[in-house]
Structure 1
Amino acid sequence: MAPNMTEEEAARQKAIDDWLPITASRNAKWWYSAFHNVTAMVGAGVLSLPYAMSHLGWGPGVTVLVLSWVITFYTLWQMVEMHEMVPGGRSLKKFHDVVCPNCKSIRTTYFIMIFASVHFVLSHLPNFNSISGISLAAAVMSLTYSTIAWTASAAKGVQPDVDYSYSAKSAAGITFNVFTALGDVAFAYAGHNVVLEIQATIPSTPEKPSKGPMWKGVIIAYIIVAICYFPVGLVGYWMFGNSVADNILLSLEKPAWLIAAANMFVVIHVIGSYQIYAIPVFDMMETFLVKKLKFKPSFTLRFITRNIYVALTMMVGISIPFFGGLLGFFGGLVLAPTTYYLPCIMWLIIYKPKPFSITWIANWICIVLGVALMIVGPIGGLRTIILSAKDYEFFS
């Protein structure tokens, strides 16, 4: 209880904390950290890695994949250590087209609405621990569809006309494609945005801080990330070259039942990852409403605010469903800071490592690379969106 807080105020504060999604339940185990982090990170972005490789080429592509894994693993460790101090619509369409190729085509808009309708229900689960089953299923799905993606690619074999040269022929085109690819990779390695909220669900005491079990879960998660990312990115590019689609599953047609299953697994995973990313937003909105605007915590308040959020995200998805461009744009602009360099800036400010020491140099390398990524990723992504929008009809 704060020094100047009355018992009545303290009781009200506790009631609010027990209602809000992040602070409501803090009894998560270390394995919750593992599958929550896998669900948050290994999303549909992994399916764009072969496409990113096609714009980067073998040498730069492998370097970027490995370097991103190392940097994000390091910055995630920093966030865990510092904690105590402080696109699913297209996969659903692909599933329909594969299972029923002769059926009447259904608009992408309708698939996005079907996807959103699930969240009008699931979004009313109160907190992180209440979605642990969904998150576990999503984590299993991410490993499954990633494995299907690279094994089906390998089974299909290297295409007869495979070409590993850059698809763009002009220097400007190559440059912009590289920018987009870097944004795609940044999006694929995102997941740091919710790591503190995940860690906040783990019990913590001075004797047994939450960073211990959290870090154990993160290690498992990053092993799974490597198992998913590297085979998909490398095998997918090896088989298809620069003709690979921005979603590797779209380049695969047979066996039909397996590709249909993989696309449905993507849908299930994205349902889980949507909830993982939405709960911190719900917490922010509900905290503002009950603490700043003094609304009474209630089912009605939660029902209205969460449904509005789901409706807004549905409208955004319907309006701009450009998978590759959006990954590059948001990967660079929104996710690169928290994933690549903001933890490093915080580390330098808080711990003040000796200038030019190994830690100091490592952090500054991450900062420089992260800032560069934040600048170039959105440029390439925005160009891709503009080019895609030329032939796009809204609500089609």
Structure 2
Amino acid sequence: MANSTDAKSVDAKSVDADVLVDAQIAHDNIKRTAGWTDVAYHSVTAMVGAGVLGLPSVFAHLGWAGGCIMLAFSFWVSWYTYKLLAYMHEVPDLDSKEGGGIKRLDRYDQLSCYVLGKNRGKWVLLPFQIAVLLGMAITYTVVGGNSLHAFTTAVNPDIKLRKWVFYIIFGGLELLLSLIPGFTELSIVSLLGALMSVAYCTIAVAMSGTVQPPAGSVNYEPMAVPRGGLERAMGIFNALTTILFAYSGHNVALEIQATLPRTEAHPTTVKPMMKGINITFIITGIAYFAVAIAGFYAFGTGVADNVLMSFAKGPTSWVVAMADMFVVVHVASAYQVYSQPVFLLIEATIRERTTGEHLAVQSVGIRIAHVVFVTLVAIMIPFFGSLMGLVGAIAITPTTFLLPPLLWLLYKRPARWSVDWCTNWFLVVVTAIIGTLGTIGAIYGIAEASKSYHMFA
């Protein structure tokens, strides 16, 4: 899958100082053998979450104009901030005695520490990043368990197992996958996940396209839906953040880029990284717009939170069951993409404090403990969807939309009132406002869900 065989890896003694490979390679045991195709696999798997199936319901709160504008804005903002991270992966090595060396920032926390200082950088980023990475793993356990339950009951309605049993089954699958040592070895899994995400999006679009609503039979006006003022406002707040957070994946961007080699032919990783990023956004953009527009056109404001649920019964129910299994495979892959940075971070900390003779055993123990913890939390919290909305608003906002432009401003220091300066400050302010609105909407959702809360529901 990798494209690294095209050129030989750089020999630090045979090239100029400006293309020296950072010594962090050996220290973190990172295999730099990936290519732009691997970047695309990992990024599509991380970015195209099962939440894409809920985009039509977002249009039910924003309407045609508002939905399309926000979806296009989210597309641009996410691509732009992803690009900023890619361009900050390679920076001047301030610790180089010779001067002129290049340092590779292989983890998001390394970038934050490089720009803000070691202590401040960790405290500014790590709490939010860990919340996102753990939150996504828990969310994917819930989605994977629910989809596995839906598939099983569709195939055999006589099966009466509780949903939490399927969470445990999904967790068992993740236990096996978590033994994959790193992103390089995860390429095949990510490719399968990317294909599955495209597959269930295609099913959603195709099935929506078969619906031919009679003229005037479908309502496309959110204001025509009877809702209270508070309910309407909270729906809009949640819709804004749902669309904005649809393009996630920034929290694993640098870890993915770390697997790219710098070669004699390509002394920088930016070009292959951007190629993979651009392919990723082409795929996700087409999928998101197609699912959102087709689903909303078919059902209008009456569309289900998951558009596939609108087809759950009838002669096409088997297609929905197949799509549910595609979702299971995809989120199982995405779970690992979001968990690998957690493993890398903890293992790097252990490597600094202990000898390497017991590292393999400790690594396996860490991965097992992580999966067990995530599975238990998923089982215990039935309204985690609303809780993840809160995590998304207060954690995804800074790591995905606030920190990249802010770090760029502090690192590059563009001239005041220049296009670069204005663009990045605009993103900081606007996404902070949307994140605040999303926090309000998520808290409201949790308060409503908690009224019917039951442990291990």
Which of 252, 264, 286 is the aligned partner of 1:194? Answer: 252
- The one of 40, 50, 60 equivalent to 1:44 is 50
Name the Cα RMSD after superposition: 2.2
Look up the match of 1:140.
195
Deviates more, 1:68-77 or 1:380-389: 380-389
Q: Secondary structure at the match of 2:89?
A: helix
2:382–2:456 CA contact under 8 A, matched in 1: no
CA distance in 2, matches of 1:252, 1:363: 42
Instruction: Specify the alignment match of 2:9 in structure 1.
Output: none
Q: Which letter does structure 2 place at the counterpart of 1:276?
A: V
Matched with 1:115 is: 170
Q: What does residue 330 of structure 2 align with?
A: 269
Q: d(CA) in 2 for partners of 1:63 and 1:163?
A: 16
Q: Quick one: structure 1 residues 286 and 325, their matched pair in 2 at CA, closer, same or farther if it must change by over 3 Å?
A: same
- In the alignment, the residues of structure 2 paired with residue 321 and residue 52 of structure 1 have an alpha-carbon distance, to the nearest angstrom, of 22
Q: Is 1:382 equivalent to 2:437 in the alignment? A: no
Which residue does the alignment assign to 1:180?
A: 238
Identity score, percent: 38
Separation in structure 1 between the aligned mates of residue 299 and residue 404 of structure 2, nearest angstrom:
36
**Shift of residue 61, structure 1, vs aligned partner:** 1.4
Q: Which amino acid aligns with 1:153?
A: S
The answer on whether the counterparts of 1:49 and 1:229 sit within 8 Å (CA) in structure 2 is: yes
The alignment status of 1:70 with 2:126, answered yes or no, reads no
Matched, 1:230 2:258: no
Report how far residue 243 of structure 1 moved: 2.4
Query: Which consecutive unaligned segments of at least 5 residues does structure 1 have?
Result: 2-12
Distance 1:17 1:349 in 2: 27
Rounded Cα–Cα distance in structure 1 between residues aligned with 2:212 and 2:402: 39
Tell me the residue number matched to 1:7: none
SS at match of 1:116: helix
Structure 2 counterparts to residues 80-99 of structure 1, below 5 A: 80-85=86-91, 86=105, 87-99=143-155
- Partners of 1:120 and 1:248 lie apart in 2 by 30
Structure 2: distance between partners of 1:79 and 1:15: 23
- Is 1:165 matched up with 2:226? no
TM-score (norm 2): 0.78
- Where structure 2 has 5 or more consecutive residues not aligned to the other structure, the ranges are 1-11, 13-23, 92-104, 106-142
What amino acid sits opposite 1:270 in the alignment? Answer: V
Deviation of 1:299 after TM superposition, in Å, equals 2.9
Q: 1:202 to 1:297 in 2, by over 3 A?
A: farther
Structure 1 pair 320–185 and aligned structure 2 pair: CA distance change class (3 A): farther
Query: How far off its partner does 1:296 sit?
Result: 4.2
> Amino acid of the residue matched to residue 53 of structure 2?
L
Amino acid at match of 2:42: H
Give the number of aligned pairs.
Answer: 380
Matched residue, 1:5: none
Cα 1:385–1:251 shift into 2, 3 Å: farther
CA distance in 1, matches of 2:443, 2:362: 36
The aligned residue for residue 39 of structure 2 is 33
- For 2:184, the equivalent position in structure 1 comes to 129
Amino acid at match of 1:170: G
Note closer, same or farther for the CA distance 1:186–1:14 as it changes in structure 2 (3 Å cut). closer
CA contact (8 A) 1:180 1:329 kept: no
* Counterparts in 2 of 1:364 and 1:125: CA distance versus 1, 3 Å: same
Q: How far, CA to CA, are the matches of 1:365 and 1:14 in structure 2? A: 36
Moved more, 166-175 or 178-187: 166-175
